[in-house]
């Protein structure tokens, strides 16, 4: 088999066989196929498209490049969740303790944030003492003992994805539905859960800008999961404005803890309960959606979900007293320059403003300030008056605030009329 022939076949719009896909993925991971040939195939695939069969073959070859975690010796139904990424998205910190409290086994490997979107690991790292680097044996032991572990993905899990993603990032070939789906699903399937909830976001702060693309991605990921014997559901949710009110790692942990006591912002609670209920339904713990939501909500009102979260944090070395979370030395109020109804709180721009405060990383090597971030005081369609506080900016220096203010000036928009806003949840695909 020759890589040259595989590239020309895809360039001319033909479907590649599973053997050809495996030749490409395994050859590239082992360093036998050079970057330039892999790049050419990625671009041909991005332009011509990959079929579902090809995508499935990619998933299988990518999984085969590393370790596949076997959770079958842990009793119970093992559940996982994935979000395609957003601003203020701390749902994993709420959903996973809810379902663990309801009796599911949570075995989740998460990633760090990059660019304007946050990552669950960075939020956990904001909790003093909390570590997420566990070996596979320690991970499984914690899931077995307390029913929940959220850790960082081990280097042995799908090494092909790490190499391919870096090349896609440098060659403008990230934006292919098939490549995104294969990248996400190879990591999820290799983690070994029985059931999976996908939170597929669309809007300014998301990977997918529009609902149609996010629906197509969701559909494909659910099909890939099912083909691998995993029961999956996808929730399509809006990322036009940040989720909840807090953006920034310690601030988000605090907000997640508030929702875990059935308080906190409505949108975060609604999305978290929806995702938790979908997993409860997939696991067969409730006969219908309404009862699944009830069961999820009971975990909040009884305190069971918060207790489960604290148990996980303690098991991973963290301080469970959230009044010890790091705080910023400077909190500056950002005020409205006119009156009106909020027609935009651009999630991407708010994420970028938080990034320049140190709440995220622009490059992989950047160090995060866990205390930095933004607390919104309003959501879309609310009325504000001139001079009213729109957001609190948590930072270390006035220079940081000045840089964030420039972005915030562009992030908020006001108008005389109440705007129509998209629903938080547009669809559930199962
Ligand atoms: N997230 C991933 O893990 N992979 C992609 O390709 C895109 C988003």
The closest residue, in CA terms, to atom 3 on ligand 1 is: 184
- pLDDT, tens digit, for every residue of 347-398? 999 999 999 999 998 777 888 999 999 999 999 999 999 999 999 999 999 9
Query: Given pLDDT bands bounded at 50, 70 and 90, which one contains residue 271?
Result: very high
* Cβ atoms within 10 Å of 283's Cβ, excluding its own: 21
- Closest-lying ligand 1 atom to the alpha carbon of residue 168: 6
What is the reported pLDDT for 244?
Answer: 98
CA of 291 to the centre of ligand 1 (A): 33
Residues with catalytic function: 82, 161, 168, 183, 187
pLDDT of 268 strictly over 90? yes
Q: State the Cα–Cα distance between residues 332 and 231, nearest whole angstrom.
A: 46
CA of 183 to the centre of ligand 1 (A): 5
**Ligand 1 close to Cβ of residue 160 (< 6 A):** no
| Overall average pLDDT of the 113-117 stretch | 76
| Structural domains for the chain | 3-49 (1.20.970.10), 78-322 (3.40.1030.10), 327-415 (3.90.1170.30)
pLDDT of 115 strictly over 80? no
Please say whether the beta carbons of 291 and 337 come within 8 A: no
- pLDDT, tens digit, for every residue of 155-194? 899 999 999 988 998 899 988 999 999 999 999 999 999 9
What is the reported pLDDT for 207?
Answer: 84
The closest residue, in CA terms, to atom 2 on ligand 1 is: 184
pLDDT of 19 strictly over 80? yes
What is the reported pLDDT for 362?
Answer: 79
pLDDT of 231 strictly over 80? yes
Q: State the Cα–Cα distance between residues 94 and 411, nearest whole angstrom.
A: 27
By most ligand atoms within 8 Å of CB, the mutation choice from 158, 174, 198, 220 for ligand 1 is: 174
| Overall average pLDDT of the 9-30 stretch | 98
List, as own/partner pairs, every contact residues 33-39 make where C-beta atoms lie below 8 angstroms and the sequence separation is at least 24, other chains included: 33/3, 35/167, 37/3, 37/4, 37/7, 38/164, 38/167, 39/167, 39/171, 39/173
Of 107-111, 232-236, 301-305, 353-357, which gets the smallest average pLDDT? 107-111
pLDDT of 114 strictly over 90? no
The closest residue, in CA terms, to atom 7 on ligand 1 is: 180
Q: State the Cα–Cα distance between residues 273 and 280, nearest whole angstrom.
A: 10
- pLDDT, tens digit, for every residue of 293-341? 999 999 999 999 999 999 999 999 999 999 999 999 999 999 999 999 9
What is the reported pLDDT for 299?
Answer: 98
CA of 178 to the centre of ligand 1 (A): 10
**Ligand 1 close to Cβ of residue 180 (< 6 A):** yes
Please tell me the pTM assigned to this model: 0.95
Q: At what angle do helices 3-11 and 18-29 cross, to 10 degrees?
A: 120
**Ligand 1 close to Cβ of residue 186 (< 6 A):** no
């Amino acid at each position: 088999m020759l890589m040259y022939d595989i590239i020309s076949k895809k360039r001319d719009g033909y479907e590649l066989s599973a053997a050809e896909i495996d030749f490409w993925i395994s050859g590239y991971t082992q360093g036998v196929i050079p970057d330039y040939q892999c790049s050419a195939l990625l671009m041909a695939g991005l332009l011509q498209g990959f079929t579902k069969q090809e995508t499935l073959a990619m998933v299988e070859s990518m999984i085969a490049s590393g370790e596949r975690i076997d959770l079958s010796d842990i009793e119970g139904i093992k559940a996982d969740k994935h979000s395609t990424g957003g601003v203020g998205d701390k749902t994993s910190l709420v959903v996973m303790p809810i379902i663990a409290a309801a009796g599911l086994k949570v075995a989740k490997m998460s990633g760090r944030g990059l660019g304007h979107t946050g990552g669950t690991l960075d939020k956990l790292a904001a909790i003093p003492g909390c570590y997420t680097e566990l070996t596979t044996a320690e991970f499984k032991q914690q899931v077995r003992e307390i029913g929940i572990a959220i850790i960082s993905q081990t280097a042995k899990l799908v090494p092909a994805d790490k190499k391919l993603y870096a090349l896609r990032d440098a060659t403008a070939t990230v934006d292919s539905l098939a490549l995104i789906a294969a990248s996400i699903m190879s990591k999820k399937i290799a983690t070994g859960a029985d059931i999976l909830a996908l939170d597929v976001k669309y809007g300014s702060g998301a990977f997918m800008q529009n609902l149609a693309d996010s629906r197509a991605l969701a559909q494909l990921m659910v099909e890939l999961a099912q083909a691998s014997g995993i029961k999956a559901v996808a929730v399509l949710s809006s990322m036009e404005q940040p989720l909840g009110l807090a953006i920034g790692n310690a601030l988000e942990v605090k907000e997640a803890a508030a929702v875990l006591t059935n308080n906190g912002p409505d949108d975060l609670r609604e999305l978290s309960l929806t995702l938790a209920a979908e997993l409860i339904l997939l696991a067969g713990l409730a006969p219908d959606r309404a009862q699944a939501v009830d069961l999820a909500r009971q975990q909040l009102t009884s305190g069971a979900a918060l207790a489960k979260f604290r148990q996980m944090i303690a098991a991973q070395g963290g301080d469970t007293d959230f009044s010890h979370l790091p705080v910023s030395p400077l909190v500056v109020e950002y005020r409205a320059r006119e009156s009106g109804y909020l027609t935009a709180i651009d999630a991407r721009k708010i994420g970028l403003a938080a990034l320049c405060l140190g709440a995220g990383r622009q490059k992989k090597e950047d160090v995060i300030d866990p205390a930095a971030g933004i607390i919104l005081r309003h959501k879309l369609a609310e009325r504000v008056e001139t001079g009213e506080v729109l957001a609190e900016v948590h930072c270390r220096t006035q220079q940081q605030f000045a840089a964030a203010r420039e972005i915030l000036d562009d992030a908020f928009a006001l108008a005389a009329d109440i705007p129509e806003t998209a629903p938080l949840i547009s669809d559930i695909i199962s």
